Structure 1
Amino acid sequence: MGGRVEEIFVTGDGSAAMESVEEVETVEGCGIKGDRYCEGTGFWVQYGDVCQLTLIEGEHLDEIEEQGLAIKSGQHRRNIVTRGVDLIGLRGKRFRIGEVVLEYDRSRPPCRHVQDLSERGMTRALRNRGGICARVIQAGRIRPQDIIEEA
Protein backbone atom coordinates (compact mmCIF):
# COMPACT_ATOMS: atom_id res chain seq x y z
CA MET A 1 0.00 0.00 0.00
CA GLY A 2 2.65 2.49 1.10
CA GLY A 3 0.64 5.71 1.23
CA ARG A 4 0.67 8.35 3.92
CA VAL A 5 -1.48 11.04 5.49
CA GLU A 6 -0.78 14.43 3.98
CA GLU A 7 -3.26 16.63 5.83
CA ILE A 8 -6.18 16.36 8.27
CA PHE A 9 -9.34 18.48 8.35
CA VAL A 10 -12.25 18.67 10.79
CA THR A 11 -15.21 20.89 11.55
CA GLY A 12 -17.74 20.78 14.35
CA ASP A 13 -20.61 22.01 12.16
CA GLY A 14 -21.88 20.79 8.80
CA SER A 15 -21.74 24.25 7.23
CA ALA A 16 -18.63 25.66 8.93
CA ALA A 17 -15.25 25.83 7.22
CA MET A 18 -12.99 22.81 7.59
CA GLU A 19 -9.91 23.43 9.75
CA SER A 20 -6.51 21.85 9.24
CA VAL A 21 -5.29 20.11 12.41
CA GLU A 22 -2.10 18.32 13.46
CA GLU A 23 -3.80 15.36 15.15
CA VAL A 24 -7.22 13.78 15.58
CA GLU A 25 -8.54 11.25 18.04
CA THR A 26 -10.97 8.70 16.66
CA VAL A 27 -13.87 7.00 18.42
CA GLU A 28 -14.74 3.41 17.52
CA GLY A 29 -18.03 3.22 15.62
CA CYS A 30 -18.36 7.03 15.55
CA GLY A 31 -15.53 8.77 13.67
CA ILE A 32 -13.33 11.69 14.64
CA LYS A 33 -13.90 13.16 18.08
CA GLY A 34 -15.18 16.72 17.65
CA ASP A 35 -15.96 16.33 13.94
CA ARG A 36 -19.45 17.01 12.63
CA TYR A 37 -20.53 13.45 11.92
CA CYS A 38 -19.30 11.94 15.18
CA GLU A 39 -20.98 14.83 17.01
CA GLY A 40 -24.25 14.52 15.05
CA THR A 41 -24.07 18.05 13.60
CA GLY A 42 -23.17 17.22 9.98
CA PHE A 43 -25.34 18.40 7.09
CA TRP A 44 -26.19 14.85 6.00
CA VAL A 45 -27.12 13.58 9.49
CA GLN A 46 -30.72 14.67 8.91
CA TYR A 47 -30.84 12.35 5.88
CA GLY A 48 -29.16 9.39 7.60
CA ASP A 49 -26.15 9.57 5.27
CA VAL A 50 -23.23 9.62 7.68
CA CYS A 51 -19.59 8.75 7.04
CA GLN A 52 -17.55 8.14 10.16
CA LEU A 53 -14.36 9.31 8.48
CA THR A 54 -13.69 10.49 4.92
CA LEU A 55 -10.50 10.28 2.86
CA ILE A 56 -9.49 11.82 -0.46
CA GLU A 57 -6.38 11.41 -2.62
CA GLY A 58 -4.00 14.36 -2.69
CA GLU A 59 -3.15 13.52 -6.29
CA HIS A 60 -6.78 14.16 -7.26
CA LEU A 61 -6.69 17.50 -5.45
CA ASP A 62 -3.58 18.44 -7.45
CA GLU A 63 -5.47 17.74 -10.70
CA ILE A 64 -8.48 19.79 -9.58
CA GLU A 65 -6.32 22.72 -8.51
CA GLU A 66 -4.70 22.69 -11.97
CA GLN A 67 -8.22 23.39 -13.31
CA GLY A 68 -8.21 26.63 -11.31
CA LEU A 69 -10.40 25.61 -8.37
CA ALA A 70 -9.21 26.35 -4.83
CA ILE A 71 -9.62 22.99 -3.14
CA LYS A 72 -6.61 22.34 -0.95
CA SER A 73 -7.69 24.30 2.12
CA GLY A 74 -10.44 21.87 3.04
CA GLN A 75 -13.02 22.92 0.45
CA HIS A 76 -13.27 19.24 -0.51
CA ARG A 77 -14.96 18.61 2.89
CA ARG A 78 -13.01 15.39 3.51
CA ASN A 79 -11.17 14.59 6.74
CA ILE A 80 -7.97 12.92 5.57
CA VAL A 81 -5.93 13.87 2.50
CA THR A 82 -3.72 10.95 1.44
CA ARG A 83 -0.74 10.64 -0.86
CA GLY A 84 0.47 7.48 -2.61
CA VAL A 85 -2.53 5.19 -2.05
CA ASP A 86 -5.39 4.19 -4.35
CA LEU A 87 -8.35 4.63 -2.02
CA ILE A 88 -10.85 2.77 -4.22
CA GLY A 89 -8.39 -0.14 -4.13
CA LEU A 90 -9.17 -0.45 -0.41
CA ARG A 91 -12.69 -1.69 -1.18
CA GLY A 92 -13.49 -4.68 1.03
CA LYS A 93 -10.39 -4.17 3.19
CA ARG A 94 -9.35 -3.06 6.62
CA PHE A 95 -6.40 -0.72 6.78
CA ARG A 96 -4.34 1.04 9.42
CA ILE A 97 -3.45 4.71 9.68
CA GLY A 98 -1.26 5.47 12.66
CA GLU A 99 -2.90 3.84 15.69
CA VAL A 100 -6.27 3.50 13.97
CA VAL A 101 -7.78 0.54 12.14
CA LEU A 102 -10.36 1.54 9.53
CA GLU A 103 -12.61 -0.42 7.20
CA TYR A 104 -13.62 0.72 3.73
CA ASP A 105 -17.32 1.63 3.80
CA ARG A 106 -18.13 3.13 0.39
CA SER A 107 -17.05 5.68 -2.17
CA ARG A 108 -18.07 9.25 -1.35
CA PRO A 109 -19.31 11.07 -4.44
CA PRO A 110 -19.35 14.86 -4.30
CA CYS A 111 -22.59 16.55 -3.35
CA ARG A 112 -24.16 19.92 -4.07
CA HIS A 113 -23.54 20.95 -0.45
CA VAL A 114 -19.77 20.90 -1.13
CA GLN A 115 -20.25 23.27 -4.06
CA ASP A 116 -22.63 25.50 -2.08
CA LEU A 117 -19.90 25.96 0.54
CA SER A 118 -17.04 26.45 -1.94
CA GLU A 119 -17.32 27.56 -5.56
CA ARG A 120 -19.12 26.83 -8.80
CA GLY A 121 -17.74 23.80 -10.60
CA MET A 122 -16.58 21.97 -7.47
CA THR A 123 -19.12 19.13 -7.74
CA ARG A 124 -18.15 18.47 -11.35
CA ALA A 125 -14.43 18.66 -10.54
CA LEU A 126 -14.79 16.08 -7.76
CA ARG A 127 -16.81 13.62 -9.88
CA ASN A 128 -15.09 10.20 -9.71
CA ARG A 129 -12.53 11.76 -7.35
CA GLY A 130 -14.64 12.39 -4.25
CA GLY A 131 -12.84 9.94 -2.00
CA ILE A 132 -14.18 7.27 0.31
CA CYS A 133 -15.94 6.75 3.62
CA ALA A 134 -14.39 4.48 6.26
CA ARG A 135 -15.60 3.02 9.55
CA VAL A 136 -13.47 3.22 12.70
CA ILE A 137 -12.83 -0.36 13.86
CA GLN A 138 -10.08 0.39 16.39
CA ALA A 139 -9.78 3.88 17.85
CA GLY A 140 -6.61 5.89 18.28
CA ARG A 141 -4.86 8.97 16.93
CA ILE A 142 -4.05 9.99 13.35
CA ARG A 143 -1.37 12.53 12.46
CA PRO A 144 0.08 13.94 9.23
CA GLN A 145 2.80 11.67 7.80
CA ASP A 146 1.23 8.53 9.34
CA ILE A 147 1.67 5.52 7.06
CA ILE A 148 -1.37 3.86 5.47
CA GLU A 149 -1.08 0.06 5.39
CA GLU A 150 -3.24 -3.05 5.33
CA ALA A 151 -4.42 -4.09 8.79
Structure 2
Amino acid sequence: MGTGLVTAVNSNDVYSFTKPTRESITLLVGLGVEGDVHAGVTVKHRSRVAQDPTQPNLRQVHLIHRELFDEVAQEGFEVAPGQLGENVTTEGIDLLGLPTGTLLRFGEGEGECAVVEVTGLRNPCLQIDAFQQGLLKRVVGRDETGRVVRKAGVMGVVREGGTIRPGDAISVTLPPRPHVALERV
Protein backbone atom coordinates (compact mmCIF):
# COMPACT_ATOMS: atom_id res chain seq x y z
CA MET A 1 0.00 0.00 0.00
CA GLY A 2 3.01 2.27 0.23
CA THR A 3 4.58 4.62 2.69
CA GLY A 4 4.07 8.19 3.80
CA LEU A 5 5.60 10.72 6.09
CA VAL A 6 4.66 12.55 9.30
CA THR A 7 4.84 16.28 8.60
CA ALA A 8 3.66 17.53 12.02
CA VAL A 9 2.39 16.29 15.39
CA ASN A 10 -0.02 18.19 17.61
CA SER A 11 -1.70 17.85 21.00
CA ASN A 12 -3.61 19.93 23.51
CA ASP A 13 -4.40 19.24 27.17
CA VAL A 14 -7.48 21.52 27.11
CA TYR A 15 -10.61 21.51 24.97
CA SER A 16 -9.84 23.75 22.03
CA PHE A 17 -10.55 23.43 18.33
CA THR A 18 -6.87 23.73 17.40
CA LYS A 19 -3.91 21.80 18.75
CA PRO A 20 -0.43 23.35 19.09
CA THR A 21 2.37 21.77 17.06
CA ARG A 22 4.85 19.77 19.15
CA GLU A 23 8.35 18.35 18.66
CA SER A 24 6.91 14.90 19.40
CA ILE A 25 3.86 13.14 20.80
CA THR A 26 3.68 9.84 22.64
CA LEU A 27 0.93 7.34 21.89
CA LEU A 28 -0.37 5.18 24.73
CA VAL A 29 -1.95 1.79 23.95
CA GLY A 30 -5.73 1.88 24.17
CA LEU A 31 -5.78 5.54 25.26
CA GLY A 32 -4.45 7.89 22.58
CA VAL A 33 -2.01 10.79 22.72
CA GLU A 34 -0.39 11.24 26.13
CA GLY A 35 -1.60 14.48 27.71
CA ASP A 36 -4.20 15.18 25.01
CA VAL A 37 -7.71 16.06 26.15
CA HIS A 38 -9.20 13.40 23.84
CA ALA A 39 -7.14 10.51 25.27
CA GLY A 40 -9.05 7.81 27.10
CA VAL A 41 -10.71 4.41 26.91
CA THR A 42 -14.17 5.97 26.59
CA VAL A 43 -15.28 8.86 24.36
CA LYS A 44 -13.91 12.32 25.15
CA HIS A 45 -15.39 14.42 22.35
CA ARG A 46 -18.06 16.57 24.02
CA SER A 47 -20.89 15.69 21.61
CA ARG A 48 -20.20 11.96 22.06
CA VAL A 49 -19.98 12.25 25.85
CA ALA A 50 -23.38 13.99 25.86
CA GLN A 51 -24.90 11.08 23.88
CA ASP A 52 -23.35 8.25 25.91
CA PRO A 53 -20.19 8.70 28.02
CA THR A 54 -19.63 4.93 28.19
CA GLN A 55 -19.02 4.52 24.42
CA PRO A 56 -15.57 3.17 23.53
CA ASN A 57 -13.18 5.85 22.29
CA LEU A 58 -12.69 5.05 18.59
CA ARG A 59 -11.32 8.60 18.13
CA GLN A 60 -8.12 8.38 20.19
CA VAL A 61 -5.91 9.74 17.39
CA HIS A 62 -6.97 12.14 14.63
CA LEU A 63 -4.94 12.15 11.40
CA ILE A 64 -5.23 14.58 8.48
CA HIS A 65 -3.39 14.49 5.16
CA ARG A 66 -1.37 17.67 4.50
CA GLU A 67 -2.60 17.56 0.92
CA LEU A 68 -6.01 18.76 2.22
CA PHE A 69 -4.37 22.05 3.22
CA ASP A 70 -3.14 22.51 -0.38
CA GLU A 71 -6.63 21.71 -1.69
CA VAL A 72 -8.40 24.28 0.49
CA ALA A 73 -5.65 26.85 -0.17
CA GLN A 74 -6.77 26.83 -3.82
CA GLU A 75 -10.15 28.04 -2.50
CA GLY A 76 -8.51 30.84 -0.48
CA PHE A 77 -8.29 29.15 2.94
CA GLU A 78 -5.08 29.12 4.94
CA VAL A 79 -4.76 26.07 7.19
CA ALA A 80 -1.64 24.91 9.03
CA PRO A 81 -0.97 21.65 10.92
CA GLY A 82 -2.97 21.34 14.12
CA GLN A 83 -5.46 24.04 13.20
CA LEU A 84 -8.20 21.50 12.37
CA GLY A 85 -7.57 19.67 15.64
CA GLU A 86 -5.57 16.74 14.30
CA ASN A 87 -2.85 14.96 16.25
CA VAL A 88 -0.85 13.77 13.24
CA THR A 89 -0.46 15.52 9.89
CA THR A 90 0.60 13.08 7.17
CA GLU A 91 1.85 13.30 3.62
CA GLY A 92 1.83 10.78 0.79
CA ILE A 93 -0.96 8.47 2.04
CA ASP A 94 -4.56 8.49 0.81
CA LEU A 95 -5.97 8.36 4.34
CA LEU A 96 -9.57 8.74 3.16
CA GLY A 97 -9.22 5.75 0.83
CA LEU A 98 -8.02 3.33 3.50
CA PRO A 99 -10.34 0.55 4.66
CA THR A 100 -11.46 0.16 8.26
CA GLY A 101 -8.86 -1.77 10.27
CA THR A 102 -5.82 -0.50 8.35
CA LEU A 103 -2.70 -0.36 10.50
CA LEU A 104 -0.44 2.69 10.28
CA ARG A 105 3.07 2.08 11.65
CA PHE A 106 5.09 5.18 12.55
CA GLY A 107 8.89 4.95 12.47
CA GLU A 108 11.18 2.19 11.35
CA GLY A 109 12.39 -1.01 12.94
CA GLU A 110 10.74 -3.10 15.62
CA GLY A 111 9.85 -2.18 19.17
CA GLU A 112 10.03 1.60 18.86
CA CYS A 113 7.21 1.97 16.34
CA ALA A 114 3.81 3.31 17.30
CA VAL A 115 0.85 1.66 15.55
CA VAL A 116 -2.61 3.18 14.99
CA GLU A 117 -5.58 1.17 13.71
CA VAL A 118 -7.86 3.29 11.51
CA THR A 119 -11.44 3.16 12.83
CA GLY A 120 -13.27 5.64 10.60
CA LEU A 121 -13.71 9.11 9.19
CA ARG A 122 -13.80 12.29 11.21
CA ASN A 123 -17.25 13.86 11.07
CA PRO A 124 -16.53 17.57 10.54
CA CYS A 125 -18.55 19.93 12.75
CA LEU A 126 -19.63 23.56 12.75
CA GLN A 127 -16.52 24.53 14.71
CA ILE A 128 -14.68 24.44 11.37
CA ASP A 129 -16.75 27.42 10.16
CA ALA A 130 -16.06 29.22 13.45
CA PHE A 131 -12.36 28.75 12.67
CA GLN A 132 -12.72 30.01 9.06
CA GLN A 133 -16.15 30.85 7.65
CA GLY A 134 -17.01 28.64 4.65
CA LEU A 135 -14.30 26.05 5.30
CA LEU A 136 -16.80 23.39 6.43
CA LYS A 137 -18.24 23.20 2.89
CA ARG A 138 -14.72 22.47 1.60
CA VAL A 139 -14.10 19.55 3.95
CA VAL A 140 -17.55 17.93 3.78
CA GLY A 141 -19.84 17.79 0.79
CA ARG A 142 -21.58 15.42 -1.59
CA ASP A 143 -20.34 13.48 -4.58
CA GLU A 144 -22.16 13.22 -7.92
CA THR A 145 -24.43 10.48 -6.53
CA GLY A 146 -25.42 12.57 -3.49
CA ARG A 147 -23.31 10.54 -1.04
CA VAL A 148 -21.73 12.56 1.80
CA VAL A 149 -17.96 12.93 1.40
CA ARG A 150 -15.94 13.72 4.51
CA LYS A 151 -12.39 15.01 3.92
CA ALA A 152 -11.35 16.17 7.41
CA GLY A 153 -9.20 13.15 8.15
CA VAL A 154 -9.47 9.79 9.82
CA MET A 155 -9.66 8.59 13.40
CA GLY A 156 -7.91 5.65 15.00
CA VAL A 157 -7.03 3.76 18.14
CA VAL A 158 -3.54 3.06 19.47
CA ARG A 159 -2.51 -0.60 19.12
CA GLU A 160 1.20 -0.12 19.93
CA GLY A 161 2.57 2.81 21.88
CA GLY A 162 5.56 4.93 21.00
CA THR A 163 6.77 8.39 20.15
CA ILE A 164 6.00 10.07 16.83
CA ARG A 165 8.01 12.96 15.39
CA PRO A 166 7.86 15.00 12.19
CA GLY A 167 9.89 13.19 9.53
CA ASP A 168 8.93 9.71 10.74
CA ALA A 169 8.04 7.25 8.02
CA ILE A 170 4.53 5.79 7.96
CA SER A 171 3.97 2.29 6.60
CA VAL A 172 0.50 1.00 5.75
CA THR A 173 -0.76 -2.55 6.38
CA LEU A 174 -4.19 -3.30 4.95
CA PRO A 175 -6.54 -5.65 6.81
CA PRO A 176 -7.59 -8.99 5.28
CA ARG A 177 -10.22 -8.84 2.53
CA PRO A 178 -13.01 -8.12 2.14
CA HIS A 179 -12.20 -4.49 2.90
CA VAL A 180 -14.81 -2.32 4.60
CA ALA A 181 -14.97 1.33 3.53
CA LEU A 182 -14.52 3.95 6.24
CA GLU A 183 -17.66 5.39 7.82
CA ARG A 184 -17.88 8.31 10.24
CA VAL A 185 -17.02 7.59 13.87
User: Shorter-chain-normalised TM-score: which range?
Assistant: 0.7 to 0.9
Q: Deviations over 1:86-108 (max 9, x none)?
A: 11233232120122011110011
TM-score with structure 2 setting the length = 0.73
Name the aligned partner's letter for residue 32 of structure 1. V
Distance 1:80 1:86 in 2: 14
Choose from 62, 65, 73 the match for 1:65: 73
Kindly indicate whether residue 116 of structure 2 is the aligned counterpart of residue 102 of structure 1.
Answer: yes
Distance 1:58 1:17 in 2: 15
Choose from 29, 44, 49 the match for 1:46: 49
Kept after mapping to 2: 8 A contact 1:77/1:114: no
TM-score with structure 1 setting the length = 0.88
Distance 1:94 1:58 in 2: 19
Unpaired stretches in structure 1, ≥5 consecutive residues: none
Unpaired stretches in structure 2, ≥5 consecutive residues: 108-112, 141-149, 174-185
Q: How does 1:1-151 map to 2 (within 5 A)?
A: 1-15=2-16, 17-38=18-39, 42-44=45-47, 46-47=49-50, 48=53, 50=57, 51-91=59-99, 92-98=101-107, 99-116=113-130, 118-127=131-140, 128-151=150-173
Q: Residues 7, 29 of structure 1: CA spacing in aligned structure 2 closer, same or farther, 3 A cutoff?
A: same
Q: Deviations over 1:27-80 (max 9, x none)?
A: 111100011101676544523585100111111111112211121152211111
Kept after mapping to 2: 8 A contact 1:37/1:45: no
Which structure's residues are more often helix, by fraction? 1
Query: 4+ runs of 1 displaced by more than 3 Å?
Result: 39-45, 47-50
Kept after mapping to 1: 8 A contact 2:60/2:158: yes
Q: CA RMSD in A?
A: 2.0
Larger radius of gyration: 2
For 2:176, the equivalent position in structure 1 comes to: none
Distance 1:21 1:137 in 2: 22
